[in-house]
Amino acid sequence: MRRFPISAILSLVACVCSTAVYAETPQQILDGLTQQAKTESADFQGFDAARGELFFKQTHANDWSCASCHSENPVNGGKHAKTGKAIEPLAPSANAERFTEPKKVKKWFRRNCNDVLERTCTAQEQGDVLTWLLATQ
């Protein structure tokens, strides 16, 4: 009877499990937002990191800003303002999982913009924030 090359199977399994498979890169998500911004506004001028940073740190319609939970420095982790649960860093440079799952990105912009601004965010606003986050090391 032929013996199974157990070590080969094990190393294959280890290989598959350790390689994180991301649906998209943050750049692809940013490209998608660019397309969306062009549709939303005819005179779209591109994204701006400084504007994104200001948007992130400012309060809008409510007491909360994005920074209330995510902290002022997105390289650091944050803490949920209500429950106290730890939040992993938002900047892709500090957390490779961020902005790799379009469905998740959409879900969280929907929820958090409702909480912070009481409305949906425009593609311009989302793209500005993501541009700033990508520039943050």
Partner 1 sequence: MLKKTRVSSLMMGVLLITSTTVFWVSKQVVADDDGEKHGSEHVYSATLPVWKTECGECHIAYPPQLLPAASWQKMMGSLDNHFGTDASLDADAIAEILPFLEKNAGSERKYAAAPSKSAMRITETRWFIKEHDEVSASTWKRIDSPANCAACHTTAEQGNYDEDFIKIPR
- Contact footprint for partner 1 (CB under 8 A): 79-80, 82-85, 107, 110-112, 114-115
Q: Note whether 29 and 97 are within 8 A (CB).
A: no
**Which one, 38 or 111, has the nearer CB to partner 1?**
111
Q: Note whether 3 and 97 are within 8 A (CB).
A: no
CB of 85 to partner 1, least distance (A): 5
CB of 82 to partner 1, least distance (A): 6
CB of 113 to partner 1, least distance (A): 9
What is the Cα–Cα distance from 57 to 68, expressed in whole angstroms?
8
Quote helix, strand, coil % in the chain, to nearest 5.
Answer: 50, 5, 45
**Which one, 30 or 69, has the nearer CB to partner 1?**
69
Among the listed residues 45, 49, 34, 46, the one whose alpha carbon sits nearest the alpha carbon of residue 134: 49
**Which one, 39 or 83, has the nearer CB to partner 1?**
83
